[in-house]
Structure formats: structure tokens, C-alpha cells
Amino acid sequence: MLQISQLYIYPVKSLAGIAVNSARVTDRGFEYDRRWMLVDPDNIFISQREVPEMALMKVQIADEGVRINFPPKNSSFTIPFHPVSNEFANVTIWDDTCVGQFVSNDADDWFSAMLGIQCRLVYMPDEAARITDQRYTPDHSITSFSDAYPFLIIGQASLDDLNSRLSEPLPMDRFRPNIVFTGGSAYQEDSMHTFVIGNITFHGVKLCARCVITTIDQATALKNKEPLKTLACYRFRDNKILFGQNLVHEGLGEITVGQTLDVLKLNYEDRFVVAGVLS
């Protein structure tokens, strides 16, 4: 039996995530997930790739907004759920450009001071519809300020297998998933074409290409060579290191830790051969 063991949301792109017991599925992913993002003076997104200290910004959902705590400077700031500013701009995430609404001058000043860079905070308004990559997804599928897709799923067995190959095991937060499940075999998520959680249908559309963020310790912001060095030995394909499955979905509602995943269809084309066994 496949069962949800962990759920995560990441309200501000590339800041720390929040472990939750339940999450509401909206048209573009989990509620609050990556609805805010930091951009540079050219309105291009900023991430831990350039500023690893972003990992140290801890996030929580409060009654008045999204509260950010930055322990290195013993400072905090609360992002209002609705921006104060009426200023909009086109912002860039990888090859995509979409509309972002600047939150406030106070937010810009606080994040710039904490991270030591010039940056501004933007929010994705409900009216913005960022279409996912049409090579892999239906034309009605949208996402927030995620790298490309509304959800990422990883099986606990996959991390356990990776950790068995490492000298020091790594926590799941290195990979920033939205959904983690137990049961089944390592890398079973590779072949999940269609599965259901409650009344919501998910489709696995593309294995996730991993970047240097996986090498950043989310507790210290220090970099290492792992896990990319080890993953490259057995999870390398088409010049990409792959770990986890990107998802799109049909339906709205809530999913909860403990719910089961019912797999309806497999995609054998996305399976790896790992140690002589199909993953």
C-alpha cells in the first residue's frame, strides 16, 4: 500500500518549506505554495542557487500572513496575504515570463537587508495564469512560481536507497518535494502515470532534473558535492540527474497525511534500470 507520509508547502520560492498534515489543492498547486518570489533589479527570480542563505529563512503561516524568521540576524517579517502595493511587472522564472505584483516597500527593504542583495518581493495574483510546459502537460494546466510544475512527489524508499549509497544520509528537505509517500519500491514514482488521492487525480509528467540546491544543507546553507555526485552514477540520463516525479492534477480539494495513493496507470517509458532491476 502506498501512503502519504509527508506534505510540504513552500510559500516563498527557495525559502524553507513548511511540513503540514493536510494541504488544500488549488488550480495551481497547494494553497500558498510558491505564491511569493524574490526577484533581482531586472525582475528575474532569485533562488538558493545564487543565495544559499535563503535556506535559513524559516517560514510559517500565521493569522496575519506569512511570517519569515531569519535566525542569523535575529529578525522577522510578516508578509501580508494580500499585497499593499498596486505595482505590477512581468517577472521571469527560467524561460517563462508572467505577471507579479510587488508586495510592499517594507518587504523589499527587509529582504534586501537580510540577504545583503538588492531584491524585491512579488506575489502571483489569482488572475495570473502561468501555463506549464505544453510538451508534457495538458493545455489547461497552470502553476505558481515553482520551477515548472505544480507538484513534486518522491517515495521514501527512493531516499532510503540513495542514503544506502552515501557515507552520510541526507534528509528529504534537500529535494523539496510536495508529497512524500511510503510503501512500494525505490523509484516507484518514476513510473506513476496516473494515480488518485481521495477525489483528486494526479499525472506524472516528467522526471525531475536536479540542480545544486540539493547540495545545500538546508540547516546551515553550506554546500557539498552530495547527493549529485552519487546520483550521477545511477540516475543520469540525457545529461540530467533525475530524482522525483513532477505532477499535474485534475480536481480541487484537500489531501492529508495518511491517505493512500491508488495507482491507475503506469508509464514504463520513464523507468530506469537500477542495479539490474527496473525502478
Q: Are 56 and 68 in contact (CB under 8 A)?
A: no
Q: In this structure, are 22 and 141 located in the same domain?
A: yes
Give the bridge partners for 177, in sequence order. Answer: none
Q: Is residue 216 part of a domain?
A: yes
Q: In this structure, are 154 and 182 located in the same domain?
A: yes
Q: Is residue 279 part of a domain?
A: no
Q: In this structure, are 104 and 237 located in the same domain?
A: no
Final residue before a domain boundary, out of 94, 127, 160: 127
For the stretch 172-217, pLDDT in tens is 999 999 999 999 999 999 999 999 999 999 999 999 999 999 999 9
* φ, ψ dihedrals at 101, nearest 5°: -110, 125
Q: Is residue 278 part of a domain?
A: no
Q: Are 91 and 100 in contact (CB under 8 A)?
A: yes
Final residue before a domain boundary, out of 98, 127, 156: 127
CA distances in angstroms from 238 to 56, 100, 178, 232, 241, listed in the order given: 33, 33, 25, 11, 8
State the pLDDT at residue 272.
60
pTM of the predicted protein model: 0.96
Q: How far apart are CA 219 and CA 115, in angstroms?
A: 16
Residue corresponding to grid cell 499525472: 203
Q: How far apart are CA 24 and CA 7, in angstroms?
A: 11
- Output the domain CATH number for residue 185: 2.40.33.20
Q: Please enumerate in sequence order all residues whose Cβ is within 8 A of that of 201, keeping only pairs 6 or more positions apart, or say none.
A: 194, 195, 249, 250, 251, 264
Final residue before a domain boundary, out of 81, 111, 127: 127
The domain in which residue 168 lies consists of 2-29+133-273
Domains identified in the chain, total number = 2
Of 204, 206, 164, 165, which is closest to residue 181 (Cα–Cα)? 204
Sign of the C-alpha dihedral computed for residues 200, 206, 207 and 210 taken in this order: negative
Question: What count of other Cβ atoms lies within 10 Å of the Cβ of residue 12?
Answer: 23
pLDDT in tens, the chain (279 residues): 999 999 999 999 999 999 999 999 999 999 999 999 999 999 999 999 999 999 999 999 999 999 999 999 999 999 999 999 999 999 999 999 999 999 999 999 999 999 999 999 999 999 999 999 989 998 889 999 999 999 999 999 999 999 999 999 999 999 999 999 999 999 999 999 999 999 999 999 999 999 999 999 999 999 999 999 999 999 999 999 999 999 999 999 999 999 999 999 998 666 664 443 445
